[in-house]
Amino acid sequence: MNPLNLFNRDHKIRQRLEAMRPRLYRLAYSWTMNPALADDLTQDTLTKGLKKVGQLKNPDALEGWLFGILRNCWRDHYRSHREMDELDHEQLTDEITPEHHHEQQHIVTKVRNAVAQLAEGQREVVTLVDLEGFSYAEVAGSLGIPIGTVMSRLCRARKALAEKLLSLDASEKTSKTTAKNVSHIRRIK
């Protein structure tokens, strides 16, 4: 390949890398539930991607390649900071939007918490397929696992999410009913 064509190819890939920043951040955030860590992982991913852009053989596989780098960055961080795996509840409460979006944010928070409680493999697959819209084949390729494994993890993840969210909903209804009954008792006195 002529050096000028190689330069143009790399330049276009670099532009595509930068355009992928928001998707990488969303994915990293869904895995970590920590804005600062998600930003760090996104930056590390883009830095590694830029350094190794010459190793990318198929430019059409850029997204899967980047998500593979992000996954490895997350795993490296997770291994070196196991004690930081738990999400601090105060971080969640700092991210509440204005009053008119409170209910939506409450639902989003419940879903994020439920996703964060999934096993790592399930969390990765459900995030890539359901939140980022990747096909099973793309996810299998970027994670380096068989497509059947993607499908089974996704099925288990969806089932676990449904159970977690239904149990949260039931417990909220119970606590609201209890609070209503207690307030009624107080009024009688």
What CATH number does the domain located at 100-188 have?
1.10.10.10
DSSP state of 101: G
What distance in Å separates the CA atoms of residue 61 and residue 86, rounded to the nearest whole number? 33
What distance in Å separates the CA atoms of residue 93 and residue 156, rounded to the nearest whole number? 29
Right CATH number for 1-82 from 3.40.640.10, 1.10.1740.10, 2.60.40.3950, 1.10.3720.10?
1.10.1740.10
Cite the DSSP H helix spans in 20-146. Answer: 21-32, 35-51, 62-80, 89-93, 102-116, 120-126, 136-143
Delimit the domains of the chain by residue range.
Answer: 1-82, 100-188
**pTM (two decimals):** 0.53
Produce one character per residue of 67-91: b if its CB has 16 or more CB atoms within 10 Å, e if not: bbbbbebbeebeeeeeeeeeeeeee
58: helix, strand or coil: coil
Q: pLDDT tens digits, residue range 112-145?
A: 888 889 999 999 999 899 888 889 998 998 889 9
Q: Going residue by residue through the chain, which has 189 residues, state the pLDDT in tens, using 9 for 90 and above.
A: 555 555 566 678 778 888 999 999 998 888 888 899 999 999 999 999 888 887 878 878 888 888 889 988 988 888 887 654 444 444 544 454 454 457 777 777 888 888 889 999 999 999 899 888 889 998 998 889 999 999 999 999 999 999 988 887 777 666 555 555 544 444 444
Best CA proximity match to 73, nearest among 95, 98, 51: 51
**Farthest CA pair distance, the chain:** 88
